[in-house]
């Protein structure tokens, strides 16, 4: 089989969403898990760091150049299972791990944060078409920079 030249990856948004101790995101009343009703982040920061190190170790085995994308902004969300700005400490941990592991950092958060209200759905972690276009351009450019350059014969 063919080997990958570049792997661009992210882990984070679902890690920081809230869950109840029984792993459900809604309780019997239909309320989303949140810090105000006994919810907890799906993955703690400590476990997130461990998970990232395991993922990076595995991906390094491929020999590909690795690029990690920061987790995009979390606005105030309708679904309380996401808490505004909860991505910030996860991005700090991820940036530390990627720097220590020599993995290229693609800051998608910084690419969209200045125009977040124009790019991301209101009270929604997902992006509108304009936001998806900004993210796609940033990802494509990051991958292109890391691809092997063709050699002339």
pLDDT one-digit tens code per residue, 105-139: 999 999 999 999 999 988 888 899 999 999 999 99
The mean pLDDT value for 86-106 works out to: 98
**pLDDT of 45 higher than 80:** yes
Least confident range from 32-36, 67-71, 98-102, 104-108: namely 32-36
Does residue 33 lie in a domain region? no
Q: Which residues face 41 on adjacent strands?
A: 18
What span, in angstroms and rounded, lies between the C-alpha atoms of 57 and 130?
Answer: 34
SS3 assignment, position 140: helix
Residue 152 within a domain: no
In a domain, 26, yes or no: no
More confident site: 76 or 75: 75
pLDDT of 80 strictly over 80: no
Lowest mean pLDDT among 22-26, 29-33, 74-78, 96-100: 74-78
As to burial, measured by CB atoms within 10 angstroms (0-12 exposed, 13-18 middle, 19+ buried), residue 70 is: buried
In a domain, 40, yes or no: no
Task: Tell me how far CA of residue 19 lies from CA of 38, 45, 126, in angstroms.
Answer: 9, 15, 19
Judge whether 77 lies within some domain.
Answer: yes
Segment 8-23 mean pLDDT: 93
d(CA 49, CA 44): 9
**Would 55 be classed as within a structural domain?**
yes
Q: Which residue has the higher pLDDT, 140 or 75?
A: 140
Tell me whether residue 108 is in a domain: yes
Distance between terminal CA atoms of the chain?
25
pLDDT of residue 121: 83
Number of domains into which the chain is organized: 1
29: which 2 tokens?
A: 């009343």
Residue 30 lies in a domain: no
> Where is pLDDT greater, at 37 or 80?
37
SS3 103: coil
Look at residue 120 in the predicted model and tell me its pLDDT: 92
Nearest Cα neighbor of 86 from 14, 1, 4 is: 14
Look up the CATH number of the domain holding residue 134: 3.40.50.1110
- Confirm if 130 and 118 have CB atoms less than 8 A apart: yes
């Amino acid at each position: 089989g063919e080997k990958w030249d570049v792997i661009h990856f992210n882990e984070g948004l679902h890690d920081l969403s809230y869950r109840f101790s029984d792993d459900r995101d809604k309780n019997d009343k239909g309320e989303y898990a949140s810090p105000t009703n006994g919810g907890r982040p799906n993955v703690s920061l400590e476990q997130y760091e461990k998970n990232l190190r395991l993922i990076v170790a595995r991906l390094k085995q491929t020999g590909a150049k690795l690029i990690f994308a920061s987790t995009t902004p979390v606005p105030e969300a309708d679904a309380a299972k996401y808490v505004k700005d909860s991505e910030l400490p996860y991005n700090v941990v991820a940036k530390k791990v990627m720097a220590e592991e020599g993995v290229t950092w693609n800051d998608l958060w910084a690419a969209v944060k200045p125009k977040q209200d124009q790019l991301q759905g209101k009270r929604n972690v997902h992006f509108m078409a304009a936001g998806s276009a900004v993210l796609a351009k940033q990802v494509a450019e990051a991958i292109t920079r890391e691809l092997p350059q063709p050699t002339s014969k």
